[in-house]
Chain A
Amino acid sequence: MEGLETVGSALFTLGLVAVAVALSLYERLDLEKDIGIAVVRSFVQLAAIGYVIDYIFGLDSLGAVVLLLAGMTAFAGWTSARRAKGVPRAFAVAVGAIGVAAVATLGMLLALDVVPPTARYLIPLGGMVIGNSMNAASLTLTRIRDDLSEQRLKVEAALALGATSRQAVNPILRTALQRAMIPLIDATKTTGIIFLPGAMVGMIIAGADPLEAVRLQIVVLYMLLGSVSIAAILVGLLSYRSFFTPRHQLRSAPLEY
C-alpha cells in the first residue's frame, strides 16, 4: 500500500525521539513512558484520521464531512467535560458551545464564499476551529469552577447584598473569559514575527504560492478568534447558571468534586 509507505517514512524521525528517551533515562526525568505513549498515540490517531479524510475525499459527499465534524465536536465536548469535573452538565454545555462556534464560523466562511464547500477545506478548517474552541471551553469551565469554590464567600456576600447570580458571578466570568481568549489573541498579534503558523508552513512546503498561503492563514486566524470567543462566551453564560438556583442561591453540591 502506497499510503502506508508515505506515513511510514515519518517513522525515520523516531531517531530524534530516541534521543529524547535516552536523555530522559540518563537524567531520570521519568518521562520515557509518557513519551512512548505520546508517540504511539499520535501515530495511530494521525494515521487513522489520514485514512478517514482520504476516504471522505473519495466519497465526495458533504454529508460525510458534516458527520465527521459532528463526531469531532462530540469528542471535543467529551474531552472538555472530563477536564471540568464537578461542573454540572459540562458535556452538554461544551458540545453546544463548540458546535455553535464551529457552525457560525464555518458557515460564515461558506456564506461569504471565502472557501469552497469541499472536504479539502472544511475538514482541516473545522478541525482547527473545534480544537481551539475545545481549549477555550476547557479553560473557561475549569476557571469558573475553581474561582467559584475559591471565592465562594465573596459570591455569597454579593448575593446577600441583593445581587443576582449573574451580578455576583460577573467578576469571575470576566476573568475566566479573559484567560481563555488571551493566549490566542497574543498568538495572533505575534504571528508572522515570532512563529509561522502550521497551516501556512504546511502549504508552503507543499509548494503553494506563499501569498496564497498567507491569505488562507489570515482567514484561519480570524476564524479562530471568532470561534474561540463564541465558544468561551457561550460556555461562560451557560455554565455559571448550574452553580446557582433560580432563587439566586449558590448550590453547594456541584462544587465538591
Chain B
Amino acid sequence: MEILRGIDAGMPEGGISCVVGPSGAGKSTLLRAINRLIEPTSGEVYLDGEPTSGMDPLLLRRRVGMVFQLPALFGASVEEAILYGARLAGRDAEADRLLEMVGLDVSLGGRDPQSLSVGQQQRVSVARALALEPEVLLMDEPTSALDEAARRRIEELVRELNASLGLTIILVSHHLDQVERLADHVVLLAAGRSEGEWGREEFFSREGERARQFISGRS
C-alpha cells in the first residue's frame, strides 16, 4: 500500500524540525522511512548528503535514534534498558551519565523499568536512543501518552539536547502549541504529500496562517 506519494522536504542539520499534519497523513511512515524501519518503494532519503538506501540498515539505525509514542522498554533494569542498543553495537556507554542527561536520578538505574511513571519511562527511552550517540533523533509524537507535567519535561529535554549536543531532531507533533514551543523548521504533510515547509518565523507569521488553520481545523 502506498502511504507516502510525494515528499520533498529538508530537515536542517542541528535544528528541530516538526512534522505536522492530520492523522493518516503519513507522518509516522515518513519517520520510519528515515531510519528504514520501512523501505520506501521509490525515492531517496539522504543523511548528511549521503543516500541511506546504500547503507547497512543496522548501521544507519545507530546513527539515527528513535523515540516512539510509548516507551517500549525492555530489560530487567533501567540500566539494562538504556544500554540495550549500545551493547548490541559492542560500544561502551555509561548509564549514569545518560540518566543525568535526561534529567533522571542515577538511583533509578537498578529499578524495574515498568515501576517508573510513563513520563520517566519515556525519558529512559530517550536515554536509550542517546546511548548510541546518534546524529539525528526521530521522535514520533513522544508526548502524546503523557500528562501535562511529563509533556513539559520532555519538551524541555528536547530543547536542551538540541542546544547542548547540537543534535538534529525530527519530531512528529499533533499540536500547534507544541510546534510553537519547539520548532525551528516545520514540514506540513497531508495525504502522503509534503504540502510545504517553513522556517519558524515564517510559519507563525501571516505566511503560514493557512497551514496553521489547516492543522488546527483538522485536529
Q: Which chain A residue lies CB-closest to B128?
A: A161
Picked from A154, A161, A245, the residue with its CB within 8 Å of the CB of B61 is: A161
Tell me the minimal C-beta distance from B171 to chain A in angstroms. 15
Tell me the minimal C-beta distance from A16 to chain B in angstroms. 50
Tell me the minimal C-beta distance from B36 to chain A in angstroms. 7
**A153 near B58 (CB under 8 angstroms)?**
no
Known: A154-B72, A161-B132. A249 touches B89 (CB 8 A): no
Query: Contacts of A154 on B, CB cut-off 8 Å?
Result: 72, 74
Known: A158-B74, A247-B57. A163 touches B88 (CB 8 A): yes
Q: Is B65 an interface residue (CB 8 A)?
A: yes
Known: A248-B58, A249-B57, A250-B37. A162 touches B132 (CB 8 A): yes
**A162 near B38 (CB under 8 angstroms)?**
no
**B61 near A162 (CB under 8 angstroms)?**
yes
Q: Is B149 an interface residue (CB 8 A)?
A: no
Inter-chain CA distance A160–B65, complex, in Å, is 7
Residues 23 to 80 of chain B near chain A (Cβ within 8 Å): 35-39, 57-59, 61-62, 65-66, 68, 70, 72, 74
**A161 near B88 (CB under 8 angstroms)?**
yes
Inter-chain CA distance A164–B56, complex, in Å, is 11
The binding surface of chain B is classed by DSSP as mixed
Tell me the minimal C-beta distance from B84 to chain A in angstroms. 6
1/0 per residue A161-172: CB within 8 Å of B?
111100100010
Q: Is B85 an interface residue (CB 8 A)?
A: yes
Query: Contacts of A250 on B, CB cut-off 8 Å?
Result: 37
Q: Is B172 an interface residue (CB 8 A)?
A: no
**A157 near B72 (CB under 8 angstroms)?**
yes
**B68 near A156 (CB under 8 angstroms)?**
yes
**B66 near A160 (CB under 8 angstroms)?**
yes
Q: How many residues of A contact B (CB 8 A)?
A: 18
Q: Is A92 an interface residue (CB 8 A)?
A: no
**A162 near B37 (CB under 8 angstroms)?**
no
Interface size class of B (residues with CB under 8 A): 20 to 34
Inter-chain CA distance A15–B166, complex, in Å, is 82
Q: Which chain A residue lies CB-closest to B60?
A: A162
Tell me the minimal C-beta distance from A256 to chain B in angstroms. 11
Q: Is A72 an interface residue (CB 8 A)?
A: no
Query: Contacts of A249 on B, CB cut-off 8 Å?
Result: 36-39, 57
Inter-chain CA distance A154–B81, complex, in Å, is 12
Q: Is A115 an interface residue (CB 8 A)?
A: no
**B62 near A162 (CB under 8 angstroms)?**
yes
Q: Is A100 an interface residue (CB 8 A)?
A: no
Inter-chain CA distance A166–B70, complex, in Å, is 22
**B88 near A247 (CB under 8 angstroms)?**
no
Most buried by A among B61, B65, B70: B61
**A248 near B68 (CB under 8 angstroms)?**
no
**A162 near B70 (CB under 8 angstroms)?**
no
**A247 near B128 (CB under 8 angstroms)?**
no
**B58 near A162 (CB under 8 angstroms)?**
yes
1/0 per residue A136-171: CB within 8 Å of B?
000000000000000001101111111110010001
Q: Is B179 an interface residue (CB 8 A)?
A: no
Picked from B36, B39, B57, B84, the residue with its CB within 8 Å of the CB of A161 is: B84
Closest 5 CB pairs of A and B: A161-B85, A160-B66, A157-B72, A162-B62, A153-B72
Q: Which residues of A are interface residues toward B (Cβ below 8 A)?
A: 153-154, 156-164, 167, 171, 245, 247-250
Known: A153-B68, A161-B129. 6 other contacts (CB 8 A): A159-B37, A159-B61, A160-B66, A161-B88, A167-B88, A249-B36
